[in-house]
Structure 1
Amino acid sequence: MTDATARVRLVDEPDRTGRTTVTLLGSLRARLTALHTTSAADAAGALTSGLCALGREAARTAEGARLREAIRARRAGANAELLWSALLIDRWASAMPPGPVLQDFRNDLALLLCDDLQEALDLPAVPTEPYGSRDRPDEEDATGTDFIVGLWVFAEELRAGIAELAAPSDGATVVSGKGHPPVAGPLLR
């Protein structure tokens, strides 16, 4: 199988709408459209809250917990919490519904690998499944340490995803995340 005939297999969560190139494109379009009616504070808040939620999720794993505790035990952790408290970032981020930053990134990365993207772009836009506070994994307050751990997870996924885009294809199903951040999720699994 050559690069031209390689197929990407997206694995969907059982209780969610199935992903196709059209739905992935619809999700990206919806987020871009929402930016026209969203304040910068709300957009940044959703990203900040989403990274904090990602950090809390990662901290439930052994690797993530070790990183979180190492940060908290050092000056960086204490200063992060001091800044978040003094500047009320903790209240602001805790009040915002977390955006699904890793899921959005993985879906957008998958669009770059779709062999039917032009056909999907030629179709009329499709409504997408909304997300928001109903997707909040817990009601824990956002912390500076969670944000730092969330950035670590996101950065690792970003690095691994771009490496996958640049890797030569042997025609196999594209898989991302092997040996990387401790947050499981369906991108190209």
Structure 2
Amino acid sequence: MKARRLDMAAANRPDAAPGIVALLLAVALLLVAMRYLDHLKSDGEALDERETSIAKQEQKYQVIGKAHRNPGNPHAEELMAQQRYAAEPARDLIEKGWSPNIALLSLEVVTMSRQINMVFETRTAQEALSYADWIEAQPATERVNVTRQTEKPGPPVKSVETTLQITWRANAGQAMTSTATASASAAAFAPTEAHR
């Protein structure tokens, strides 16, 4: 071990580098902590907004639930009619393209998110995809996803089980009535064109 040389002419002052490094680390940690607090605050505000929207939805459901208990009230009857009509666009969309070759296994209609989850069987994968393509081509349809398709070997008959997830448009009822009106007017207009 080497002995340290002492310089009696130099001032007795400790090295400043460790103190500066410690100060810089403290400032960096303070900045990170402040950023993290800002992030937590923004997350808290987002959660508060979500909680408020959920509370409003629950309040709406409570109003509809109270409508069941108070028949005869015109406002309650209007709410009940809206609730009954909410699934009509989904029902119309499914029924219009239905064929005898399609066997429905399960159907779930979620009116809040405008989604239809359905499981059905066909004899071939092409029939199932044709039905999915037909639904997707309808003006009331926003999106169609084939989430699963499995082939089932016989007996008695080979079949294909398909799971579809369909989202219909918010104004699907208006789109369906306008399409029906347009086709009716086109049908009424076609014979007059033929006679000319």
Compute the TM-score of the two structures, normalised by the length of structure 2.
0.24
Q: Of Structure 1 and Structure 2, which has the larger fraction of its residues in strand?
A: 2
Structure with higher Rg: it is: 2
Q: Which has the higher contact order (CA 8 A, sep 6+)?
A: 1
Query: TM-score w.r.t. structure 1 length?
Result: 0.24
